[in-house]
Amino acid sequence: MPDDHHLSPSADVQPGSPRPDRIVARLTEMRGNNEATHQSTNQVTRIVSFDDQQVGWEMTGPEECLPPPLRVHDLAATALVFLAMHQGRDLHIDGPVTQSLLRNMEDLIACWHLWRPDLYRIVRVSAEHEVTDAALPSPASPPRAVLAFSGGLDASFTAWRHVTGNAGRRSHLLHAGVLIQGFDIGLDANAAFTTTVSTAADALRSINVPMVTMRTNWRDVACVNWEMEFGNGVASCLRNWQGSVSAALVGSDEDYARLVLPWGGNPITYTMLSSRDFQVVYDGGEFTRTEKAAGILDWPAGLRNLRVCWEGPLTGRNCGHCEKCLRTKLNFMALGAPLPESLAGPPSDADIQNLRVGNRAQLVLLQEIVEMAERRKIRQSWVRALKIAIAKNRMRLAVPVGAALRRMTQPLRTLLRPLKRRLVSQ
């Protein structure tokens, strides 16, 4: 991050400089003052510096909802652990880190090395000072949590079920919903993010949950493989609130019966990203995506502001034609429910039949829609079109050459990602 504390998509690396055997990371923060305008703002900026690079998080929102002053530097450890594993370099945090997180991260590293030895190696994570469990404050009662809130179906379902108490004994009071720029909406796509802020704020306002916006360049600087690491990125963003809440709620991807592993968002390694005082929760794993759609049918503001699209030309709104837009329409169609106005009209059978998924996780989610439609005895032509699409995609994903080609081109696609975002945002 540059000296003026404005995030950029990537940081400059000095060419030809020798790389040390380990990554040494230092976490700093700036609170409530914009040096460029000399005005007091409701903003907290945190920066992890390492190897002539910087990863940063800028958080803006109501003062009472912003993260508390830094006490432990667990955030730096989770933010850089995948980069350290990819480079095969030990990671040292120049600050205090909780023993419980360091303990859990040993499992995290072992797990990901076994899942993807082609991407990740065994490394050691250490800290200048290890904070014992006894030195940590007792969890608050009732439990409070921050929520990753994109306005998507998973996040909307999680928000609604906790506000209404439908999570039972697992229900949390929602401290804030956190809307992140720098993941599906790039740092350069400010117009798209402004649109998303408006819809997300409207949804959260209807349930009296405040919103905090966050800008981060983590994906561009510290992420190697998005599909494997996005969950860690989200969890690291929410860990900024360690010390003021006891949990981070991340809406589940697949339900427990259809887990796809390895995958970046999963209930196994979210637990390994937790510490005694801050649990990362894979929320709603007992529900299918179609059941989640059913679960928000009585939340008009959530339906009106639903945003699931990340690859369409109108990033910040639903394009209505991409894989995720079509899949979400099918979730509601499998219920026999009307489509939310936010999803831009029903798809044709041809649209469904030509639907193309990018990975096994998406294929599993499509199969779940067919199963729900058949249980509800829906016999419309779109069900047959979806079965054809699933069969075509299953054959395509089964071809080993396709998977090998995707892995071979991953470095190139990573380099081109910032360019693609800039083109989309124009």
pLDDT value, residue 17: 55
The pLDDT of residue 13: 42
Q: Answer positive or negative: Cα dihedral of 322, 327, 332, 336.
A: positive
Overall average pLDDT of the 323-327 stretch: 96
Give yes or no for residue 85 having a pLDDT over 70. yes
Phi and psi for 34 in degrees, rounded to 5? -90, 105
At residue 251, the pLDDT reads 98
Given pLDDT bands bounded at 50, 70 and 90, which one contains residue 8? low
| pLDDT band, residue 9 (cuts 50/70/90) | very low
What is the phi-psi region of residue 356: left when phi exceeds 0, alpha when psi lies from -120 to 50, beta otherwise?
Answer: beta
Considering only CA atoms, give the Rg of the chain.
21
Euclidean distance between CA atoms 73 and 67, whole angstroms: 13
For residue 117, how many other CB atoms are within 10 A of its CB? 10
pLDDT confidence of residue 316:
77
Phi, psi of 113 (to 5 degrees): -65, -40
Q: Is the pLDDT of residue 248 over 80?
A: yes
Give the pLDDT band of residue 422 (cuts 50, 70, 90).
low
Question: Exposure string (b/e) for 266-286, b if CB count within 10 Å is 16 or more?
Answer: bbebbebbbbbbbbbbbbbbe
The predicted structure's pLDDT at residue 269: 98
* Range 128-146 average pLDDT: 89
328 Cβ contact partners less than 8 Å away, ≥ 6 residues apart: 153, 293, 306, 308, 343
311 or 373: which carries more pLDDT confidence?
373
Query: What pLDDT, on a 0 to 100 scale, did the predictor assign at position 3?
Result: 44
| pLDDT(404) > 70 | no
What is the reported pLDDT for 417? 64
- Can you give the pLDDT at residue 367? 97
Tell me the CA distances in angstroms from 246 to 5, 63, 146, 261, 321, one per residue in order: 28, 19, 9, 27, 39
> Looking at residue 364, what is its pLDDT?
96
Amino acid letter for position 353: Q
pLDDT category of residue 20 using cuts at 50, 70 and 90:
confident
pLDDT at position 1, please? 44
143 neighbors 244 (Cβ within 8 angstroms): no
Residue 311's pLDDT is 76
Omega before residue 262 within 30° of 0, cis? yes
In this prediction, residue 421 carries a pLDDT of 55
Instruction: Give helix then strand counts, H and E, for the chain.
Output: 14, 10
pLDDT above 90 covers what percent of the chain? 81
pLDDT given at position 163: 98
pLDDT of residue 411 exceeding 70: no
pLDDT band at 10 (very low <50, low <70, confident <90, very high): very low
250: tokens are 């991340």
Instruction: Please provide the average confidence, as pLDDT, over all residues in the chain.
Output: 90
Integer Cα distance of 329 and 338 in angstroms:
9
Give the best-scoring range by mean pLDDT among 137-141, 298-302, 413-417. Answer: 298-302
Whether pLDDT at 424 is above 90: no
